[in-house]
Amino acid sequence: MDEYWMHIAMEEALAAQKLGEVPIGAVIVQDGIIIGRGHNLRETTHNPAAHAEMIAIEEASRTLQAWRLLNCTLYVTLEPCPMCAGAIVQSRIPRVVFGTRDPKAGCAGTLMNLLQEPRFNHQTEVTAGILQEECSELLSAFFRRIRNQKAVLKQKQRQSPEAAEE
Amino acid sequence: MDEYWMHIAMEEALAAQKLGEVPIGAVIVQDGIIIGRGHNLRETTHNPAAHAEMIAIEEASRTLQAWRLLNCTLYVTLEPCPMCAGAIVQSRIPRVVFGTRDPKAGCAGTLMNLLQEPRFNHQTEVTAGILQEECSELLSAFFRRIRNQKAVLKQKQRQSPEAAEE
């Protein structure tokens, strides 16, 4: 079942990608029903807090009309950053499932584990690595394309500085 | 000058208190101008992410039309929680000034220091204890009133269970 919901989180990630955003997606499920979903919108909205998890948490809170997201599972394609891990603690989400690890900012076990910090007033069950390869490849392919585009642009600039500016 | 801006953050905290919210307020200042302000709205909005800092960051990003809040200082009456500390890292705010420490969730030096974590891609200058007593008393007085109200209600319930329900 975790794979089923992670596929939907991946659909959200693809929605981000269509907008030129880093492809990261999230869904929040309660009793088999999606109550919140979101995809990374940082560039589109100019909002540093517009991560997939934050948008999904906000939607789920609106759905339930409550800031405590009890009996929910949050699925996200990439390991949460400190902000999103903090929001998960704030909203008392009991379980988080993520796709692939984030070696640069992952705070659900990689750099640190804010979801299971005994000094906070809430700890979360964590399942890592669901559809890991697919979630990782989504990101790798995105950054590969960005690098290729930049390389092509640079080559154009070398060949004809004016044409590249068009 | 830090005290001047912290007084404005305290005004924001009082705006939260008027709504029955825990009194916490924040302002973001760039070149001597307030570009974002916010107060805790967790209960009013049912949104676990509606902390003073998050609202101020979102407003500042709208003002600048950018998710990078460069050359800004964030003033907040209470030490940031992990979510807000994470959002400060995400938005690259170079300086944070807070009033009083949070022994339960403070992540700018008390439980941990996410604002100066060398493994993240951004570190923030931190100044603690500006108007510490005033910021602390604001919170203590709020929780004292809540406790007193609860005590009065309990006493009423003991004296007359029906009247207390009115």
What's the pLDDT tens digit per position in B101-137?
Answer: 999 999 999 999 999 999 999 999 999 999 999 999 9
Nearest to B82 among A42, A46, A85 (CB): A85
Tell whether the model's pLDDT for residue B163 goes beyond 80.
no
Give B35-85 as a DSSP string. EEEEE--HHHHT-TT--HHHHHHHHHHHHHTSS--TTEEEEEEE---HHHH
B26 neighbors B56 (Cβ within 8 angstroms): yes
Tell whether the model's pLDDT for residue A43 goes beyond 70.
yes
Measure in Å the smallest separation between the Cα of A50 and chain B Cα atoms: 9
pLDDT at A140: 97
Chain A residue whose CA is closest to B82: A86
**Whether pTM exceeds 0.90:** yes
Tell whether the model's pLDDT for residue A164 goes beyond 90.
no
B76 neighbors B96 (Cβ within 8 angstroms): yes
Catalytic-role residue among B53, B79, B137, B162: B53
Interface contact A105-B120, CB threshold 8 A: yes
A81 is in an annotated binding site: yes
Report the range of poorest mean pLDDT among A151-160, B87-96, B141-150: A151-160
Tell whether the model's pLDDT for residue A94 goes beyond 60.
yes
Residues of A in Cβ contact (< 8 Å) with B119? 111
> Which tokens hold the place of A67?
């800031």
Q: Closest Cα to residue A86, out of A66, A125, A114, A108? A: A114
Q: Please, which residues have CB within 8 angstroms of residue A17's CB and are 6 or more apart in sequence? A: A23, A138, A142
More confident position, B156 or B65: B65
Helix (H) or strand (E) holding B15: helix B2-18
Q: What value, to the nearest 5°, has the Cα angle with vertex B86 and ends B81 and B89?
A: 130
CA dist A84 to A69, A89, A115, A129, B50, Å? 14, 9, 10, 18, 13
Nearest to A90 among B45, B48, B89 (CB): B48
Residue range B17-56, pLDDT digits in tens: 999 999 999 999 999 999 999 999 999 999 999 999 999 9
Residues of A in Cβ contact (< 8 Å) with B94? none
Mean predicted lDDT score pLDDT of chain B:
95
